[in-house]
Amino acid sequence: MIRLTFDPFDPGALLSEFCRDRKEVGAVATFTGLARADTGSTTILELEAYPGFTEGQIGKIADQARARFTLDDVLILHRVGKIAPGEPVVFVATAARHRRAAFEACDFLMDYLKSKAPFWKKEHGPDGARWVEPKPQDHADLARWEKETST
Amino acid sequence: MARVLLFGRLSDLAGWRDREIDSPFLSALRSRLAAEDADLGQALAGPGVQVALDQVIVRGDAPLNARTEVAFLPPMSGG
Kindly determine whether residue A113 and residue B48, on different chains, have CB atoms separated by under 8 Å: no
Over the stretch A11-48, which tens digit does the pLDDT of each residue have? 999 999 999 999 989 999 999 999 988 878 889 999 99
DSSP of chain B? -EEEEE-THHHHHHT-SEEEE--SBHHHHHHHHHHH-HHHHHHHTSTT-EEEETTEEE-S--B--TT-EEEEEPPP---
| Beta carbons of A134 and B75 less than 8 Å apart | yes
Nearest CA in chain A to B5: A50
| Chain B: residue whose CA lies nearest to A54 | B55
Under a CB-based contact definition with an 8 Å cutoff, are residues B30 and B45 in contact? Answer: yes
Q: Could you tell me the CA-to-CA distances from A39 to A45, A83, A135 in Å, in that order?
A: 14, 16, 19
Q: What are the residue ranges in chain A where pLDDT is below 50? A: 151
State the ipTM, two decimals.
0.92
Instruction: Kindly report whether the global pTM for this prediction surpasses the value 0.80.
Output: yes
